[in-house]
Amino acid sequence: MVVEFFDAHEQVSCSLPRSPRARWAPPLAGSYKANFDAAVFEERNFGGIGVVIRDYMGEIIGALSQKILLPQSVEHAEALAASRAVQLATELCLFDVIFEGDSLRVITAINSAKACRAMFGHIVEEIRGRSLSLARCQFKHIRREGNSLAHALARRAGLTADTDIWVEELPIDLDDVFQCDLS
């Protein structure tokens, strides 16, 4: 499935792969990959989102762990994570980005040519609008095993007061997850 967004100056192409990979794989040289995930902590009445952006060599460009209010659903939280991933990529002036998340429903909604009628539809529209500032982007589904670093960052949100952002590094406690992704 391919959906193309157009504005007056540039084209953004977004696609969904046929068979999701089980492991993280680097993007092509000159591109970046932003993985995102969400976690819900119902017992503590909040959620967390995690985003990690890496280059073609697997090096960290930026990462974040952010606490959010308890979302309406897991898909709502995943859509918020996707939106924050696009925002972080634009803040870091990255314009050729592959966005990967493990919620097939959210990725399918973003890639659909139709309006999203789900409870998180307004976030999908926000993602589509924000992605117009990118020269090229793709939204792809990946299995949880290939999204482990973003998942760890989302879970780490339970330790933060609000938002932690790292540029060209990660917190030391996530080094094992990072190394496992690269092997």
Q: What's the whole-number mean pLDDT along residues 52-66? A: 96
* In the block, residue with structure tokens 């193309």: 4
pLDDT of 49 reads: 97
Report the range of poorest mean pLDDT among 80-84, 113-117, 120-124.
113-117
Where exactly are the structural domains of the chain?
2-182
Tell me how many degrees the CA angle 176-73-153 measures, rounded to the nearest 5: 15
pLDDT of 179 reads: 85
Class of domain 2-182: alpha beta
Share above pLDDT 70 across residues of the chain, in percent, rounded to a whole number: 88
| pLDDT grade for 12, boundaries at 50, 70 and 90 | very low
The predicted-structure confidence for 29-45, as pLDDT tens digits, reads as follows 999 999 999 999 988 88
**Among 147, 141, 140, 169, residue whose Cα is nearest residue 62:** 169
- Whether the pLDDT of residue 59 is over 60: the answer is yes
The secondary structure of 58-126 as a DSSP string is --EEEEEEEEEEPPSSHHHHHHHHHHHHHHHHHHTT--EEEEEES-HHHHHHHH-SSPP-STTHHHHHH
- Whether the pLDDT of residue 10 is over 60: the answer is no
| pLDDT grade for 21, boundaries at 50, 70 and 90 | low
pTM: 0.86
pLDDT of 159 reads: 80
- Whether the pLDDT of residue 95 is over 90: the answer is yes
